[in-house]
């Protein structure tokens, strides 16, 4: 098995095949690294279920190899996918375990940041904002102490800033959230962590949209889209197209918004995994079509999307957002009686 793995690795073999042979050969550290690479490829392709499963295998291999920091990082990367695949409560339980297991200030900050992202899914914006404030306080504490602990990475700080800002926006404080992100904008542009940069500008677009600063939102969103295309991150591209289309429609650029939303819908169909994101985009597209006068197609898309979201993420704020889109579309169509219960 080791010989086969060496042979495949020299020829650029698929990470999952490498991992199987390294694991069978008892080379757990190499197997863990290969499983992690396979998980990253799955994420890039939008295959969240595969990503979660492969990261769990990576963490198991690293644990057997006594590479505890690598196991921690693999589990940390698994938190967000676990929310989508296994449910928010499972993601929260994993994040809580990582907070308890953290051995350094940097690990604790990273785990708290992941926990905050799960709290957002559970519509606990105040708790998420508080957790991120703790992360930023830990980072400052480490910077001041200089006690030799591993400093909190800029990427972790940027994730925390984004989650705190979007949580503030959910609490009706979008202006404060936008100002917080603006203060970190230059550091985000120069951050070496491509994932942190990507997520930051995606979140910035959303927060600016909440703050009714839509031209700035389009600028941040277009940067997000460009970063997603460059990284081959179709999942993030889907999010970016959805966000920018929403901002464009409020600027009166309805044709552009519909074109972006249709591209996002095609992308969601090709990904085939993130059904919640696909449903949100379909609902947005439906709302734009209603605004353009295509009532039949538009209402059908919104109603189908709402049914899908209620079955997938019943406790998410996404459901409430799409209920609002449907109510607004029904009012635009004619008698508002059906809109009142929504």
- Find how far residue 160's CA is from the centre of its chain: 13
Q: Are 184 and 161 in contact, with CB atoms under 8 Å apart? A: yes
Counting every residue written for the chain, the total comes to 342
Smallest CA-to-CA distance from 274 within 231, 308, 304 is with: 308
Among 12-16, 255-259, 268-272, top mean pLDDT goes to: 255-259
pTM for this model (two decimals): 0.76
- Find how far residue 211's CA is from the centre of its chain: 20
Query: Token pair 């769990």 is at which residue?
Result: 56
Cα–Cα distance for residue pair 299/120, rounded to 1 Å: 28
Number of CB atoms found within 10 A of residue 173's CB: 18
Cα–Cα distance for residue pair 291/295, rounded to 1 Å: 8
Q: What integer is the mean pLDDT of 240-254?
A: 89
Smallest CA-to-CA distance from 330 within 302, 305, 309, 292 is with: 302
Q: What is the pLDDT of residue 149?
A: 63
Half-sphere exposure of residue 250, counting CA atoms within 13 Å on the CB side?
A: 16
The per-residue pLDDT of the chain, averaged, comes to: 90
Q: What is the pLDDT of residue 244?
A: 93
Q: Rounded to a whole number, what is the distance in angstroms from the first to the last CA of the chain? A: 60
Cα–Cα distance for residue pair 331/326, rounded to 1 Å: 9
Q: What is the pLDDT of residue 61?
A: 95
Show the tokens assigned to 239: 């999010």
Show the tokens assigned to 16: 């999952």
Using DSSP, state whether 293 is helix, strand or coil.
coil
Half-sphere exposure of residue 312, counting CA atoms within 13 Å on the CB side?
A: 21
Is the pLDDT assigned to residue 29 strictly greater than 70?
A: yes
Is the pLDDT assigned to residue 184 strictly greater than 70?
A: yes
Is the pLDDT assigned to residue 272 strictly greater than 60?
A: yes
Q: What percent of the chain is predicted at pLDDT more than 70? A: 97
Cα–Cα distance for residue pair 235/276, rounded to 1 Å: 12
Residue 146 DSSP label = -
Cα–Cα distance for residue pair 59/198, rounded to 1 Å: 25
């Amino acid at each position: 098995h080791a010989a086969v793995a060496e042979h495949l690795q020299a020829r650029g073999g698929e990470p999952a095949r490498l991992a199987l042979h390294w694991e069978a050969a008892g080379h757990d550290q190499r197997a863990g690294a290969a499983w992690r690479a396979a998980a990253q490829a799955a994420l890039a392709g939008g295959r969240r279920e595969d990503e979660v499963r492969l990261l769990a295998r990576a963490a198991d291999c690293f644990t057997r190899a006594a590479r505890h920091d690598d196991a921690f990082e693999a589990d940390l990367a698994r938190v967000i996918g676990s929310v989508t695949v296994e449910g928010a409560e499972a993601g929260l339980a994993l994040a809580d375990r990582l907070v308890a297991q953290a051995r350094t200030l940097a690990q604790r900050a990273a785990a708290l940041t992941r926990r905050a992202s799960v709290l957002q899914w559970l519509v606990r914006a105040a708790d998420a904002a508080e957790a991120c404030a703790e992360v930023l306080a830990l980072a400052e504490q480490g910077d001041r102490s200089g006690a030799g602990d591993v400093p909190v990475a800029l990427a972790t700080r940027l994730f925390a800033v984004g989650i705190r800002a979007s949580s503030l926006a959910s609490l009706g404080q979008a202006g404060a959230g936008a100002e917080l992100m603006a203060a970190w904008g230059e550091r985000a542009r120069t951050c070496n962590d491509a994932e942190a940069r990507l997520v930051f500008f995606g979140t910035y677009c959303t927060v600016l949209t909440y703050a009714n600063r839509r031209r700035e939102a389009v600028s941040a969103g277009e940067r997000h889209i460009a970063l997603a295309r460059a990284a081959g991150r179709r999942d993030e591209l889907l999010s970016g197209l959805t966000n920018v289309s929403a901002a464009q429609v409020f600027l009166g650029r309805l044709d552009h918004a519909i074109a972006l939303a249709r591209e996002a819908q095609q992308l969601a169909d090709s990904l085939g995994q993130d059904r919640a994101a696909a449903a949100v985009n379909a609902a947005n597209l439906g709302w734009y079509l209603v605004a353009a006068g295509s009532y039949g197609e538009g209402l059908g898309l919104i109603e189908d999307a709402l049914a899908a979201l209620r079955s997938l993420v019943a406790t998410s704020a996404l459901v409430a957002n799409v209920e609002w889109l449907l109510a607004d579309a029904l009012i635009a169509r004619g008698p508002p009686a059906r809109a009142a219960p929504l």
